[in-house]
Amino acid sequence: MKLIQSKRDVGFWLAICVLLIVSLFAIRSWYHAVSGPEVIRRFTTIWIDSRQTWPYNRWLGVRTEQNPNDVWIIQEIIAEVKPDFVIETGTLHGGSAALWAMILEQVNPKGRVITVDIADKRAKKLPPIAAEKVDFLIGSSTDTEIVAGIAQRVHGKKVVVILDSAHDKDHVLAELRAYSPMVLEASYLIVQDSNVNGHPAWPDYGPGPFEAIDEFLAENDEFRVDKSRERLLFTMHPNGYLRRVRSPREGSLPAGSPDDSSRD
């Protein structure tokens, strides 16, 4: 019995082959689309919307609302930079401040963490290192006296800044402008939770950290987004790892710096 008996049969099998080839290309395209950014988008949305993920994270028993992937990356940054100070805005329960202090102690035993929050919501029991290595400041992270006091203390020192307080655009932009002059070349200014307002999470959030980063970079060419810090794929801080690529220009020192002679 012959499988191909006429030109009609040839046409039929050619059509089947073409259909199979087209289907394979379509499946391949779908696979790459879904296995890349779309998978990350879906996972981010599920993860941030769940009440069983970040809200329940603990560091040594203290509530610490951090993404483990980003904690790992920040640990790498602290290990590389070996800062004298880690400045954190947004203390909340104090878990992340204790976490940064524990990492910092291993690479710079004399290093300290300065953490700022508008209200004192610290956990009643923090790890001992919090009392030894962390300075808790109560007040707005953009208050001129708070900023000036921190600037004077860290002047000339290696600093890593982590912004994690209020996440509306105007506040984050004010923080970026206030704290960026404290960061020396090759160190980092980290903006957390830039994934809100549709990047890709919570599309109805309103302008937030991501938009603040865009505006800040448009007016400041001393920092660049370091996309290599997003190598673990899932991050809460897209475009949020800002690396200083050149020294601050003269006159860009924050208020309160010893060399800020324009403010007496």
- The β-bridge relationship of strands 159-163 and 188-191 is parallel
**Per-residue model confidence as pLDDT tens digits over 160-187:** 999 999 999 999 999 999 999 999 999 9
The closest of 197, 195, 179, 199 to 187, measured between CA atoms, is 179
Q: What is the pLDDT of residue 1?
A: 45
Q: Residue 239 — very low, low, confident or very high, per pLDDT cuts 50/70/90?
A: very high
Cα torsion 155, 158, 164, 170 to 10°: value is 50
Q: DSSP secondary structure string, 37-65? A: HHHHHHHHHHHHH-SSSGGG-EETTEE--
Locus of tokens 């950290």: 209
Across 54-68, 144-158, 226-240, 247-261, least confident range: 247-261
Average pLDDT over residues 119-136: 96
Burial of 149 from C-beta contacts in 10 A (0-12 / 13-18 / 19+): middle
Q: Residue 222 — very low, low, confident or very high, per pLDDT cuts 50/70/90?
A: very high
Helix (H, G, I), strand (E, B) or coil at 189: strand
The closest of 228, 233, 156, 162 to 200, measured between CA atoms, is 233
Candidate ranges 26-30, 34-38, 161-165; pick with highest mean pLDDT = 161-165
Phi-psi region of 154 (alpha: psi -120 to 50; beta: other; left: phi over 0): alpha
Average pLDDT over residues 188-202: 96
Report domain extents, the chain. 62-244
Q: Which residues contact 141 (CB under 8 A, 6 or more apart)?
A: 89, 90, 116, 117, 118, 147, 163, 165, 175, 178
Do the beta carbons of residue 259 and residue 93 sit within 8 Å?
Answer: no
Higher model confidence: residue 85 or residue 42?
85
Task: Report the share of the chain in percent with pLDDT over 90.
Answer: 74
Do the beta carbons of residue 88 and residue 97 sit within 8 Å?
Answer: yes
Instruction: Report d(CA 65, CA 54) in Å as an integer.
Output: 5
Task: Report the share of the chain in percent with pLDDT over 70.
Answer: 81
Q: What is the pLDDT of residue 258?
A: 43
- The β-bridge relationship of strands 134-138 and 62-63 is unpaired
Q: What is the pLDDT of residue 36?
A: 75
pTM for this one?
A: 0.83
The closest of 159, 190, 150, 152 to 172, measured between CA atoms, is 190
Do the beta carbons of residue 77 and residue 122 sit within 8 Å?
Answer: no
Order of strands, sheet of 223-225, starting from the edge strand that comes earlier in the sequence: 134-138, 112-117, 85-89, 159-163, 188-191, 241-244, 223-225
Q: Residue 62 — very low, low, confident or very high, per pLDDT cuts 50/70/90?
A: very high
Res. 213: pLDDT tops 60: yes
Average pLDDT over residues 19-23: 67
Do the beta carbons of residue 62 and residue 127 sit within 8 Å?
Answer: yes
Q: Which residues contact 156 (CB under 8 A, 6 or more apart)?
A: none
State the CATH class of domain 62-244: alpha beta
